[in-house]
Amino acid sequence: MKKISKLRKTYIFRFVFRCLLLGLVLLTFFFDREEFLVLKDWNFFKKFSFLHILWVVWIIDMIMQLIPITKYIPLGSRKHFQINFKKTVEKFNINDLKKFIRKTTKDAYKIFIIWVIMVLTIGILQHFNLIPFEIPYLITSLFFIGDIVCVLFWCPFRVIFMKNRCCTTCRIFNWDHLMMFSPMLFIRGFYTWSLIVVAIGVFVLWEILIYLHPERFWEKSNVNLKCSECTDKLCIRNCKEKHLAKIVDESNKDE
């Protein structure tokens, strides 16, 4: 059995931590709903709530995606920065790169359209008071866990839409916070809108750098994205399958 990487251990800890936070959010929803008033208007500054802790956690998460740090977050989330780009020795085809970017962008915006429809549905339900105003926050808290489930265990976006190898090569890795917080768009308040504004900033930076430097997002132009160079080891199964496939391929060539 392969040794679990430090980053994967960190993500397992985060998974447990997020589950505990969701449990606390649910307890708050069922037994102390007044705590959710902090979400509305300027109540954020009027009274401390347990929900402030989650706000701080989310803001720190997003700040880490805005600076080119080399620790604590996987390469898939920071590959858009110059510091994480290492050009391949072999010359790559520019047209192939453009085709790759066009295809992955097309697949990504299929997800975007579906997500917008889902968020609008939540907004309509809330507008007509068909769901309590706290429900979008609960959905966001659930997505907070779903995000890490996609990294550690199974990702429907990768399997159904993107067809990418793993998180390292994921086209929409830094869409996570925008997707996570978007259900709260219709709760008017500093708490919710501040999170959404910062998430939009992360999203815009990511999309701009894909447009300006697409070579950073393709494993045939960025050596650091190759499976053989992976140090994150988040997707143990996928890496193992890729490694075995490489061995078989090299063996066939020798024959």
Q: Is residue 1 part of a domain?
A: no
pTM: 0.89
* Number of domains observed in the structure of the chain: 1
Give the pLDDT score at 140.
96
Q: Is residue 29 part of a domain?
A: yes
Could you report the per-residue pLDDT of 10-57, keeping only the tens digit for each? 999 999 999 999 999 999 999 999 999 999 999 999 999 999 999 999
Could you report the per-residue pLDDT of 146-169, keeping only the tens digit for each? 999 999 999 999 999 998 888 999
Q: Is residue 252 part of a domain?
A: no
In degrees, rounded to 5, the angle at the alpha carbon of residue 7 between the alpha carbons of residues 73 and 141 is: 60
Q: Is residue 246 part of a domain?
A: no
Q: Is residue 138 part of a domain?
A: yes
Could you report the per-residue pLDDT of 94-146, keeping only the tens digit for each? 999 999 999 999 999 999 999 999 999 999 999 999 999 999 999 999 999 99
The DSSP-derived string for 159-206 is IIII--SSGGG-TTGGGHHHHHHGGGGGS-BHHHHHHHHHHHHHHHHH
Q: Is residue 130 part of a domain?
A: yes
Give the span between the Cα atoms of 100 and 166, in whole angstroms: 16
Structural domain that includes position 58: 6-240
Give the span between the Cα atoms of 194 and 177, in whole angstroms: 12
